[in-house]
Structure 1
């Protein structure tokens, strides 16, 4: 779900006990192995069986760029959102061909464009490895705990996926350490863009319409998975069903919600409200301002900065929305009550003890480390390349069990792909981000702080950023490949200024990680396991874990809601776009809509709402009907869903999706792609 709006009215969000008690109504981002079949059958008189769930799981796709998707043909065709492919459009654009602005349609498969850093993954198996990891942890604490846990995770992942060319294994922590699951994936590392509309077609209404409904957004695109230079055969795919949704019908959203904080304790929420969110909102707001000013300097910079600006604005609005939610007394009172209820039910259970006090102590300790850890890790693509190269060289020389996460055998292929895939780097843009992050480090840490002196020496943030960006050769993928292949010897011999800078920071970054593991991450893992035990003891196993960007399924129905005494309709139509247009940004029509106005069927359902419980990361998730066919792609939530990170209200929270009926009309009339039309029809 794209996070594009931040308004949150006081008292809008209601928590229905997600932090402690069983889910109600349509609440829940459920794992496939714990789908609440009986709960759904009680509510609706029907629930999917295992065969239905297995078919849907096999067609669901995780995009490592942070979105969800689904296979919709037997030839590797993937449906997702436009905003999920915006970076791919951006990467393939230049001053002569602005695919982000103008859209892209491949005339044939040879014209489909590679998406740098993108990987498509399909879950093939989910295994419970809780016993193995908890045995490895034993009675350990602090840094020793995190090392033992990470070593066991590395071993499990390596054993589970010895073929790292086509498979990926990932151990996922659920319930804060109460469960550990091994997710095995079939991966496709060659992902290409097949079709995408004009940016304005997807972003019509801009910020004023974000997290609102009615909506008029064609937020849909198609990718294709390749292997060995050929489209992947995908017999397990969803049937394309370009029909209008029906009010009250059952809907399922299957995807990979990014993260939620519905299980946070009061001290964790306090840290968010008092430390992390204020810093994030303030610094990101300044980055947005710096970027907008720079983009105004030329049409080229405006194009080159647009993708980053969209990401900043989306994220900024999320954090502002969360800030407002956690400063709403009525909302936070419900969160506090949920915790108090769980504490009361856990009183006297000696096996659980008082994990809340342990979390309090860990969070207090983390306050000392948070700002140094945050600001000694500068922002910038070129710096990130240098950091990855330095760490990969050091970590690859170690046994697998001793490496940092991200550099183990199972994780290294994706790390390498993201490092070496060719994509454009704009020096002015990287210098802007790098200088901004260094400036904020000096501001928050202070000019006399030892970490500030380590970061800057005697240079100003802007001087240092200019020198390093201008002097590095890491924008060249051949240079990155050479340093990667050369290993530690090549890194130690390199005189590239960005490599030298990353090496200078590496020791301090490791020191901070060690302190955080000892005083925060380790204690939090132990406490999280006890809190999970408390929840299971109090409420049984009919619970869902916080989102972890792993495969989940939510169920609901196509349904509007009451807004200020008025019933909000379930859907909009394509024709409504023309009525809503004003000719002024952001309500200006996409050129292809103008050109094809007389051809477009105005009655076709455009966007619609449902009660499905989703969060960021669900962007591109297929909306599936009872028959198991795809009728939409989720791309947003309504204004009431802004508190979804902390709780769900079935009366008000809604998922916003684009209808595949509208996508079909676009493929036939607005952005013609006859080959895709035939493919989707199974011809």
Structure 2
């Protein structure tokens, strides 16, 4: 598989964070790959047809892809915990980390380059979860969830045999929310989000745990270390990737600061993590002394197993070894007291839903292949009509010359050569979530009209439920992409390969 074409980031992510998860949108968020076999491009006689035309308002659209995950089957009690505890804690930390990364990126041009990916990831997550938080704060969504839950419970209660089989998993899950609240911060800081976003800590933890887990039968290991997953884990661990010490220290220091803040300085976990050190000094020492940025060092530890890891004097390895037993204990407590009983109760609720509704409702997304149907349509928000399409002309009108609304010089030079009325982005009512990015958007005739690359801000509540009035899929149009390929990038051969004459 080889990369054929990808635009510069100013085109792919035009509008940056302000436009992310919004519409109108003017992004050429596309790339093209070609498959090869025995050194020759693969011939695929059966394929969808690229159609470089504008979508029609109201036109039927289909999206084929693999939506990642949704939480539409959570109980009201679980949604309240998400709204009141889990999302706010994460958002507070993301907001502060975003500020630290912005300040880091302002040091100089190199710092800006180094921080770009991390800042993008934090800003993207912050905005996505802001949309989820907004949905859970909406009385209409929560009221609808309460009505749905009450109806299902009533239908179960009305069938004595079903009620005996199902029991009362809703009350069980409700009672588990106190246990969740009691354990969440410790579990988050020491296990689920341990090390923050530090690559060096992540390498160390993988090496320490892999050394132990690989001595066990596959069925007894932590899921990430099962035989089926080891090849990919090994590749990810050993792939060469740049590690910047200054950014590493920022990430590790922030995690230690937040752990001390949330758990308090007197908590045994905090004392284990810091000892008598400050977050600033400890993070500096761990990063400065570690050699795990070198793939050869990581490979030697991976191949050497328990003996090599135990003998290592790398400070990050020593640190991961020091805290691993407590982290595992926190993980085990969470799994046995929170996730396992929750999953068991949720399975009975799912069984009840199927018994009552059959195949009239579909299950949560799990990366399995799905086909979504919808149509090209805008929406109305707070009295303002949002049209379903944007054009190349709108891109130039939106451009200010300053980031993130700056177009590349080649785009400025190509302006007079393009059809400025060509549709660049459009929206549809298709029900998609994260994981669908890159999915083809297809007409009823099997024509590719574009590629899904985002949703509007309202669609972020799609994690909990779909709102046909407001939720929209954001699409790069084949019409606008073809214009850009021809007149901005001179990719005429690629255009011909796509079948456009």
**Same fold at TM > 0.5:** yes
Q: Which consecutive residues of structure 2, in runs of 5 or more, have no partner in the other structure? A: none
Q: Which residue of 1 aligns with 2:99?
A: 289
Q: How does 1:370-381 map to 2 (within 5 A)?
A: 370-376=184-190, 377-379=194-196, 380-381=198-199
Task: Please state how far the C-alpha of 1:231 moved relative to its aligned partner.
Answer: 6.0
Secondary structure, in 3 states, of the residue corresponding to 1:541? helix
Contact 2:21 2:128 in 1 (8 A): no
The Cα RMSD (Å) is: 2.0
Render the CA deviation track for 1:531-581: whole Å, top value 9, x for unaligned.
011111221122211122332221111122234445432211112211222
Distance 1:550 1:536 in 2: 19
Distance 2:332 2:391 in 1: 55
Distance 1:511 1:642 in 2: 34
Q: Which residue of 2 aligns with 1:512?
A: 330
Contact 2:76 2:142 in 1 (8 A): no
Q: Which residue of 1 aligns with 2:76?
A: 266
Contact 2:129 2:460 in 1 (8 A): no
Q: How many residues in Structure 1 have an aligned counterpart in Structure 2?
A: 493
Q: How does 1:60-459 map to 2 (within 5 A)?
A: 192-224=2-34, 237-347=47-157, 348=160, 349-376=163-190, 377-379=194-196, 380-459=198-277
Task: Please state how far the C-alpha of 1:371 moved relative to its aligned partner.
Answer: 1.1
Render the CA deviation track for 1:228-286: whole Å, top value 9, x for unaligned.
87766666643322222122222111222222211111221121112111111111111
Render the CA deviation track for 1:187-208: whole Å, top value 9, x for unaligned.
xxxxx53321121112222333
Q: Which consecutive residues of structure 1, in runs of 5 or more, have no partner in the other structure? A: 1-75, 77-191
Render the CA deviation track for 1:33-56: whole Å, top value 9, x for unaligned.
xxxxxxxxxxxxxxxxxxxxxxxx
Distance 2:56 2:500 in 1: 24
Secondary structure, in 3 states, of the residue corresponding to 2:451? strand
Secondary structure, in 3 states, of the residue corresponding to 1:411? helix
Task: Please state how far the C-alpha of 1:431 moved relative to its aligned partner.
Answer: 1.0
Q: Which residue of 2 aligns with 1:184?
A: none
Q: Which residue of 2 aligns with 1:125?
A: none
Change in CA separation of 1:446 and 1:565 when aligned onto 2, cut-off 3 Å: closer
Distance 2:293 2:41 in 1: 30
Task: Please state how far the C-alpha of 1:592 moved relative to its aligned partner.
Answer: 1.9
Structure ranking higher in helix proportion: 2
Distance 1:565 1:289 in 2: 34
Correspondent of 2:399 among 573, 581, 585: 581
Correspondent of 1:534 among 340, 348, 352: 352
Distance 1:527 1:226 in 2: 48
Q: Which residue of 2 aligns with 1:522?
A: 340
Distance 1:265 1:477 in 2: 45
Higher mean C-alpha deviation, range 537-546 or range 471-480: 537-546
Secondary structure, in 3 states, of the residue corresponding to 1:351? helix
Distance 2:209 2:34 in 1: 32
Q: Which residue of 2 aligns with 1:654?
A: 472
Change in CA separation of 1:563 and 1:325 when aligned onto 2, cut-off 3 Å: closer
- Give the alignment's TM-score, normalised by structure 1: 0.69
Q: Which residue of 1 aligns with 2:278?
A: 460
Distance 1:296 1:573 in 2: 33
User: Structure 1 residue 572 and structure 2 residue 390: aligned?
Assistant: yes
- Give the alignment's TM-score, normalised by structure 2: 0.93
Secondary structure, in 3 states, of the residue corresponding to 2:225? coil
Change in CA separation of 1:305 and 1:649 when aligned onto 2, cut-off 3 Å: same
Contact 2:367 2:435 in 1 (8 A): yes
Distance 1:436 1:541 in 2: 47
